[in-house]
Amino acid sequence: MASTPITRLRKALLQTDDSGPGIQRSSISMMSMYSSAPAAAAGEWKSCLSVCQLRQLLPLLYVANEVLQTSKRRHGTRFLESFSPLLPSAVRLICERDPLIVEKVRRTVKIWGDRRVFSTRFINEILTAVEDLRDASPAAPPPRVKALVSPSRMEAPVSSDEEDGSDFSESVRPEKSLDVKITVDDGPEIYGAPPEPERKREKEGVEENEATDYLLRPSKRRSMNRGNPAFKPFGMLSFNEMLAKLVDLDQQFKKSFVAVEAVPKHFYIKDDKAMQDIVGEELVKMNVDLSKAIRLITKQRTKIHETTKQTYKWEQEIPFHLAPMVAAIRKDDEQFHLCANLEEKLRWIKVVHAMSKESRDAKRERDARDVAEKAAHVKKVREDLARQKSLERAMKQPTGPNMRWNSRTKQYESVANHDDDDWRG
């Protein structure tokens, strides 16, 4: 029995692997059904998510990413309309089947918002659908960002609550800061795009707009975000807001530290001989003051602990912002060089333009002079022709015996007869 397009598409999708050519082949199979049956292709893609192997879930999502962006850029909205009802449940199905890839799935979904494939509201709906699965998934290090922890900061063992008398239930010591070194190879790859397939396609000579489907171009990102105050990169706080929160947390830490510093120093000094001399009301008062100091220190310790926990949390988000910012700075440097080259070329164009303008003005003067000379020549010819015609008309007039040709007036004139001078008397 002959295979149908849907059957061939299902076979191609179930053979998808995490290589660039594999994702490209499946994307081409999907795009071949753009005009005939986009809704059926989208439905078949979702059904494959339920039966495929776990290692194929992320490549199939990248296939949808390729198809949606290519459709948005080159064709139209048929695939967008066909995929949009299925994406929230499909994305949740992927995360439920493999909780280890929740963050990678979220980064891919956020690319659709950054590139305006779908509206921000719809992207938030998809992210909300998998928000409860985030906590269940183990934290994975962000791609292309390497956090190197200084060994000297990790030598101190973490003691339990019973060993140090801590009032806290957590054994993690957030106050021990980590030395984080960020190595950025290709900034945009932090968004979760598969870098290796991208490099392979670039080497194969695929046109630029296809070779950068998985990369976030900083120039486009800036143009999209400009003038949109509601935009939040990565679905989180903006970098400025994060810095503001870190400043607030630092102020809270300093306030707690000042409060602890206000405790009298002699409370920390162990002097048994001096204590033996304190009796009566003085001892009671010291006991009350010491109890207050203990409560104050305990309270401030709790605040400092919470403050350092929050600081540590926000510091972990910084690498997600730094890599795109570094990539954007690099892009700005390229644009600065481009502008400098354009400015130099414009200077040369200005010189050529001045020469062209001078040549044009000279040509206009010559043309105007030629037109004036031609007009004067035509006028003279017309006058000569009119004079010739007038002469011809005069020559045709009948002449009498007493008529004489006047060369000055170009006509015959009557000549008076002076033979009869009787009138002179």
Q: Which domain holds residue 15?
A: 5-134
pLDDT tens, N- to C-terminus, the chain (425 residues): 467 888 888 888 898 888 888 899 998 988 888 888 888 888 889 889 888 999 999 999 999 899 898 888 876 788 888 888 889 999 999 999 999 999 999 999 999 988 888 888 899 989 988 888 886 555 544 444 343 333 333 333 333 333 344 333 333 333 333 343 433 344 333 333 444 444 444 444 434 343 334 333 444 444 444 444 444 444 345 777 778 888 888 888 888 888 888 887 766 776 666 666 666 777 788 778 888 888 888 888 898 988 898 888 888 877 877 777 788 888 888 889 899 999 999 999 999 999 999 999 999 999 999 999 999 999 999 998 988 887 777 666 656 666 777 777 766 676 665 555 555 55
Answer yes or no: is 64 within a domain.
yes
Answer yes or no: is 121 within a domain.
yes
Asked if 175 contacts 304 with a C-beta cutoff of 8 angstroms, the reply is yes
Cα–Cα nearest to 196, from 331, 23, 355: 23
Asked if 174 contacts 93 with a C-beta cutoff of 8 angstroms, the reply is no
Backbone torsion region of residue 41, taken as left when φ is above 0, otherwise alpha when ψ lies between -120 and 50, otherwise beta = alpha
* Whole-Å CA distances, 316 to 146, 177, 265, 326: 12, 11, 36, 17
The H or E element spanning position 412 is: strand 411-414
Q: What's the domain count of the chain?
A: 1
Answer yes or no: is 336 within a domain.
no
Alpha carbons within 13 angstroms on the beta-carbon side of residue 198 total 17
Residue 186, burial from CB neighbour count under 10 angstroms (0-12, 13-18, 19+): middle
Answer yes or no: is 242 within a domain.
no
pTM of the model: 0.36
The CATH number assigned to the domain holding 15 equals 1.25.40.90
Give strand pairing partners of 414: 403
Answer yes or no: is 93 within a domain.
yes
Answer yes or no: is 102 within a domain.
yes
Q: What is the crossing angle of helices 57-70 and 38-51, to 10°?
A: 160
Asked if 12 contacts 25 with a C-beta cutoff of 8 angstroms, the reply is yes
Answer yes or no: is 39 within a domain.
yes
